[in-house]
Chains A and B, each alone.
Chain A
Amino acid sequence: MRKRCLLLFSGLMLLPMGVLASLNKHIVDYRIQAGLMPETRTVEGRQILTWLNDASVPVGELQFHLYLNAFKNSRSTFMKESGGIHRGFKLGEDNWGYIEVESLKVVEGPDLTLRMEFIQPDDDNPEDQTVMRVELPEPVGPQERIALEIVFRSKLPQVFARSGFHGDFYMVAQWFPKLGVNQEGTWNCHQYHENSEFFADFGVYEVEITVPEEYVVGATGLRTKEVKNGDGTVSYTHYQEDVHDFAWTACPDFVEFREPFSLPDIGVDTELILLVHRQHLNLKDRYLDALKKGVEFYSRSYGPYPYRTVTLVDPPIKGMGAGGMEYPTLFTSMGVSFIPRGVRMPEMVTIHEFGHGYWYGIVGSNEFEEAWLDEGINSYSEMKAMDRYYGSDRAMLDLGPIKIGDAEYQRAGVIATTAWDPIVTRSWEFISGGSYGISVYAKAAITLKTLENWLGGSVMDEIMKTYYARWRFRHPVTDDFIAVAEEVSGQDLDWFFDQFLKTAGSLDYAVASIRSREILEPAGFYKGEFIPSERDEDRQEKDADKTYRSEVVVHRKAELHFPQEILVVFEDGEEIRERWDGRDRWKRFVYQRPAELKAAHIDPDYKILLDIDFFNNSRVIKPNKASPLKYALGLVLKFQELLTCVGF
């Protein structure tokens, strides 16, 4: 593998043809040469990094993420937290990965290699080497730049958590020394945790990737150059502005499909690139269709997709640990050749991961500290896209009578799980991976869906569009989202966000009791005289004149509150809709009507998806006997059939 030095600043500002103009201020500029060595599972790299100090104060040190060191040994914070298992995938025995920074120096300046040291800002685990600090010989002043030349070697782990290899498949992600984000003189550079993803500044990436010729390569950005080196290797150069990361993949078993895709009315003009593993060629059309739906949904709902390419990577079955992950303009989907059409995992993962291009890629959310801003908003977006294109009752699963939509699926996860943590919690401070997953993905998504149902679809659409437009290519925090929501809706929504984003409680309203009694004529000793009770026959004769006193008691069973609508239905078909602010523990509604009460429903349209129990949302005077009987006899029949198989 040949290594060539990059031309430095002379080439930095020259944009390759066909790349969009800058959309934001470039804080970082990475020019990297990388060579894949399949025999040693390593990537040899050399990078020129230029960093702009955008703060108003001088900065005297730099902090880098060395993510691959999470897989260096069993003592890293990631391995301690995860036990070597991530999303069900396990690290193979002695298939460690790491990154070694061989040298680091200021371009045309001093060598800083000896100044490198590992730090542990999150947990003081001295054995964690995922963050590196370098003290600079002199501070970088405000709006000044510094250029560094870094030589590194990345040993890839067997893939189980996003990055690594399996067989000939390589997912080269989080693979180079990467600067943290400097916020007014302070570095935001967290260690790599089991539950955390990433955060970085926007900038320019130009990466030359050299691999053996038989490898098919996909990478962030537009391919600007392809050179056969004459030694059995080929070098591909990719360039992309306005992104905050760069990932690439290589595998001889990929089959590449390219298709232009445009939405002329909103200015989308991009190329869809699919790298489908040979084993899954039958999934190509499913992936492509879902990707088109994703690009269209996000472009029309939030803003036109701004990049010239989007690359879908389909990992092999044993490389699934790399699946379902997003990088700028490139993402990994997930599927196996024998997955039934009614199981829409490839579609859901494709739309979800593409969507991250918006809420992680373009809106640069801090996934360490407020992962919901990416995962939650994106799960909400995915839910809307999936339910729109595939049916709200069958978007996720459509297997005969077994059907479930995306919103239903996400809600099922939430109601089945104890709420331990607020949604807004730093990723590594969740009690468990399960709590992190449910909170920042599903609970956040149904929180936003509940907000949409409360404010109305058009208001919510406007909130999302405004938030995207205002915060694209910037780093928002939760309060920025809340500010946009309040501004667009014109409402004070603190009561909503304080409860559902910032506390760990749950929401459950029930119809506690309903009853209806006929109001009889006075009987007994009444106003000084004795009045005998009416006989039943006499009462029936006066049937038309009967009056009933009906009572409905609604109950706030859990700690959180939400304004409620209550539908009260009478036997004569009359319906009354009541409103309740939902703050007290309970409320009683009393009616005197000529008809008996039939039923009462709290939140009758099931708008409040955060309510953890829909079964207690309603109560009827006359219990439905047929429905329980249907299910009981159905179960009994299945049991009887089973018994006949056991023996008879």
Chain B
Amino acid sequence: MHILKSYFTGLRQAGGRGKMVALLWIFNLLFAAVVYRLAAAFFSQAFGSSAVAEDLLHGFDTALFLEMLVHNPGPQALVFKAMVFLGFLYFWVSLFLTGGILQVLSAPARPEGDASPAQRFASRFFQGAGKFFGRFFRLALYSLILWVGLAVFQFLLYTAAKPLTGGGTDEKMMVIMFWVWVGSGLVLYFFISMVLDYARISIVLSDTRRVLRALFRALGFVLKRLLRTSTLYAMLLLTGLAIFLLYWAIHSMIPTHSLASIWLAFAIGQIFILSRGWLKIAFQAAQLEFYRTRGTLDITA
């Protein structure tokens, strides 16, 4: 029952954090704006003044799209490199924002003071973001141990699977082992992400600078309650999947053949991005609730 309570608390808390959701969306949009500038210039230059644009407007044409890539190697490389760089940068920004999210979610409700609610939110959010960024940065570095572990495990699994596939001749077994490999990779990825979530929660709640200890504590916490932590995580993941499927169904129904419908599809896309922000907060809030109610004793013990 604690799982359900944590899950619904998380959803409810996320629902009441409109400003935080909006803030996450704005950061996402800022990064996307840079890509938009480059991509818009690239596509306009590639086919804006050609009649081909009309064909591409009415449907995706793989052959034409390939041809466009062939004729514009420089601009497409620029867009790609920018996306990689911005993605890397966003990872650290996201880490920074997580500190703010957890600070706000973990702080007790305070009596009205001099500051306006907006000022109080901004102050608490960015204070937390700044305060915990260094610790989360170190945590990210320490987490390399886990990620390397994942890579080693996957490699060993691949090596162990080879004899089962008759050295790559039993195709049925190759398919099975491929999906086992993908499945184990995903499970481990989510497991490590979950451990890191709890490690960050632990750091914020105990306001500790002992990051490595927090990481191991989180690992112990998760392993001791593997079924419950995993169930909660899976419920949140499934919520995200359901939102995605709904978005995908709606988005794919819009025929993007005119300026108005293109903008409409983009606007619906932004609602989805907002929902991802909401889900991120729901993840943190639900796990924070679970950690508080099931984990406090362990921390103090």
Contacts and interface: CB of A to CB of B under 8 A. Distances in A.
Interface string B212-232: 000000000000000000000
A412 B67 contact: yes
A634 B43 CA distance: 11
Given A411-B63, A615-B47, A640-B273, A318 B56 contact: no
A110 interface: no
Interface in A614-638: 614-620, 623-637
A625 B277 CA distance: 31
Contacts of B95: 647
A602 to B, nearest CB: 11
B158 to A, nearest CB: 17
A613 interface: yes
B246 interface: no
B49 A623 contact: yes
Residue among A337, A338, A633 having the largest count of chain B Cβ atoms under 10 Å = A633
Interface string A594-618: 0000010100000000000111111
B186 interface: no
Interface residues of B, number: 65
Contact of A316 (B35, B98, B169): B169
B49 A643 contact: no
Interface stretch (B4-12, B24-32, B118-126): B24-32
Interface string B38-78: 01101110111111111011001011101110110000000
Contact of A625 (B29, B48, B86): B48
Contacts of A623: 44, 48-49, 53
A405 B63 contact: yes
B73 to A, nearest CB: 10
A635 B31 CA distance: 13
B106 to A, nearest CB: 18
B94 interface: yes
Contact of B47 (A404, A416, A627, A639): A627
B169 A628 contact: no
A639 B79 CA distance: 11
Contacts of B298: none
A598 to B, nearest CB: 10
A408 B63 contact: yes
A636 B35 contact: yes
B266 interface: yes
Interface string A212-234: 00000000000000000000000
A478 to B, nearest CB: 29
Interface stretch (B147-155, B203-211, B256-264, B285-293): B256-264
A189 interface: no
Nearest to A403: B62
A530 interface: no
Contact of B97 (A599, A634, A648): A648
B32 A639 contact: yes
Nearest to B257: A626
Contact of A646 (B52, B94, B259, B266): B94
Contact of B87 (A411, A617, A635, A642): A642
Contact of A636 (B36, B48, B62, B277): B36
B32 A643 contact: yes
A639 B67 contact: no
B283 to A, nearest CB: 9
B29 A628 contact: no
Given A599-B51, A644-B28, A648-B97, A630 B44 contact: no
A614 B67 contact: yes
Residue among B42, B52, B60, B95 having the largest count of chain A Cβ atoms under 10 Å = B52
B35 A635 contact: yes
B269 A637 contact: yes
Contacts of B24: 648
A11 interface: no
A167 interface: yes
B90 interface: yes
Contacts of A615: 46-47, 50, 52, 64, 67-68, 71
Nearest to A318: B169
18 contacts: A280-B171, A316-B169, A337-B172, A411-B63, A412-B67, A415-B71, A601-B51, A616-B50, A628-B43, A631-B43, A634-B256, A640-B28, A642-B83, A646-B90, A647-B93, A647-B94, A648-B94, A648-B277
Given A617-B52, A640-B32, 4 more contacts: A624-B48, A624-B54, A627-B56, A648-B28
Interface of A: 167, 279-280, 316-318, 336-338, 397, 401-405, 408-409, 411-412, 415-416, 599, 601, 613-620, 623-637, 639-644, 646-648
Interface of B: 24, 28-29, 31-32, 35-36, 39-40, 42-44, 46-54, 56-57, 60, 62-64, 66-68, 70-71, 79, 83, 86-87, 90-91, 93-95, 97-98, 167-172, 174-175, 256-259, 262-263, 265-266, 269, 272-273, 276-277, 280
Query: Which 6 pairs of residues, A with B, have the shortest CB-CB distance?
Result: A647-B94, A618-B51, A628-B43, A408-B63, A624-B53, A627-B53
